[in-house]
Structure 1
């Protein structure tokens, strides 16, 4: 490659990158913000509860060749709460991502979401099926509370009581702040997250059941889930995921053994391989 060709290519890549950043900057929302990195097929990356867009830094580096749209949820990871200070967080973020797809003129983007982000991704795919090309949900069940043994409406009274206790007194908020800080030390949570936003999002997740909406997802759905090395019955986890996602016809389930909830940290190379395969198909 001669110098002129190289410079022309570099200029073109720079222009495309600037265009991508401009695309994100023109989208405004009180619920989230978006940064764009790279070029290629559009991929929207949605972090989980309390985490920020930096969750995906390793993935973006390890799986180049795509235009990544990295979502930051307001109130998580040091970002001000803004519109997420009250009301429903998870479904509101899903609505904003669906709006972003339209305003940014994305054509059938892939959506990859971890934990809460997986619920968000499936909400978008079920409620706006024409806007999504494919979906990866990471270590999350369509009814998150079912992973803790709760079924149907069983969780609602408990979730309501806990939410009320945490939000109605200064002591409750301090307790939640302490919990966030404790889990932050393990890498599961980001300790700089707003406890009120976390409480609203947690309550919504606990009382959400997307099972009836799974048949509405037309896009290919891949579910990547962790089975810790300490798990006594990995087959029970397999059965839970198979039965939970049975209404999603054709869903692909991918178990990652020896992984924790933060699969991208505990088994990064395997996780990157799953993302490559998902995006390549």
Structure 2
């Protein structure tokens, strides 16, 4: 995620983290287990072995793959996964380098190899065109997976995610134009000391989510992330433009996005951005969730669950 509060006033998305030449604005997307979530008995760590991701499986039924965002733990989905497990087999993805998951690739590429490993998991696990739900960077991952491997994906829900995150700078911005900012963001993540990094995470959390307890949990997950993994991911996310592939997509896509009149994205600005960026995608369904910041599943859990159920039934 790239957080653009210093570049777009009251940003339409508290979704990425950007370092300027002097200030790191680290917007991470992590969420702890919600206290009210009931435990699910049928939990299994898959036999799938990868240095890019791991997967935990809960429940039985049609397959649903849940992908977290930048610096997130799979726990971002725990409450929703526990709810869905009564009727679905849920595959909780954990991306390498985030929230304590090991990272062994230095400053190398992040997004493309991870998408290919996710495709390998779908094949190896024998999933038959699962529904894929991704938050922020995870939403971009779902779209890229469907573009590169349409035979593997039944449908995609993109949660507060754009096909090109740097479009928040403006409609004229290209991946190449975003590269210097991506390099600055990566350098800022790597250079910040622990105290400064925690302070920035704490400050940025306010813009990402309304719930105070979840803000605190989010900071801890970000502090447990590997800085090189975060830097590699932010560099890739800011310069990955999935928009050229939208027009040829045949996979159904729902794009859920947030609006919050009290400190978040104004509705008109969010509507304009999401409509513009997803315009080339045939049949895309756009749903705005009001009273929410970036973590829709936490800020508006009942509305989010309702949308997920509609998406899975569609």
What is the TM-score when the length of structure 1 is the normalising length? 0.84
Structure 2 contact 259–265 (Cα < 8 Å) conserved: no
For structure 2, the 5+ residue unaligned runs are 1-40, 206-214
Question: What does 1:130-279 correspond to in 2, within 5 Å?
Answer: 130-149=151-170, 151-152=173-174, 153-164=176-187, 166-167=189-190, 171-172=191-192, 174=194, 176=197, 179-180=200-201, 183=204, 185-186=215-216, 188=218, 190-191=221-222, 192-230=224-262, 233-279=266-312
Q: 1:72 to 1:210 in 2, by over 3 A?
A: same
Q: Among residues 118, 126, 133, which one is paired with 1:112 in the alignment? A: 133
Q: What is the deviation of 1:93?
A: 1.4
The alignment status of 1:73 with 2:95, answered yes or no, reads: yes
**Paired residue secondary structure (2:128):** coil
Query: What is the distance in 1 between the residues matched to 2:201 and 2:188?
Result: 16
The alignment status of 1:39 with 2:60, answered yes or no, reads: yes
Query: What is the distance in 1 between the residues matched to 2:124 and 2:136?
Result: 26
Q: How many residues align?
A: 258
Structure 1 contact 46–71 (Cα < 8 Å) conserved: yes
Query: What is the distance in 1 between the residues matched to 2:143 and 2:225?
Result: 24
Where does residue 90 of structure 1 map in the other structure?
111
What is the TM-score when the length of structure 2 is the normalising length? 0.76
Where does residue 28 of structure 1 map in the other structure?
49
More helix by share: 1
Structure 2 contact 157–255 (Cα < 8 Å) conserved: yes
1:171-211 CA deviation, whole Å, 9 max, x = no partner? 44655565346546455552311111111111111111110
Query: What is the distance in 2 between the residues matched to 1:145 and 1:239?
Result: 15
For structure 1, the 5+ residue unaligned runs are 1-13
1:29-54 CA deviation, whole Å, 9 max, x = no partner? 00100011000000110000011111
Instruction: Look at both structures and tell me which one has the larger radius of gyration over its CA atoms.
Output: 1
RMSD: 2.2
Where does residue 12 of structure 2 map in the other structure?
none
Query: What is the distance in 1 between the residues matched to 2:253 and 2:101?
Result: 30
Query: What is the distance in 1 between the residues matched to 2:309 and 2:136?
Result: 19
Query: What is the distance in 2 between the residues matched to 1:254 and 1:105?
Result: 31
Where does residue 9 of structure 1 map in the other structure?
none
Extract structure 1 runs of 4+ deviating beyond 3 A. Answer: 164-167, 171-189
Query: What is the distance in 2 between the residues matched to 1:186 and 1:149?
Result: 31
**Paired residue secondary structure (1:60):** helix
Structure 1 contact 122–217 (Cα < 8 Å) conserved: no
Question: Which structure carries more relative contact order (alpha carbon 8 Å, separation 6+)?
Answer: 2
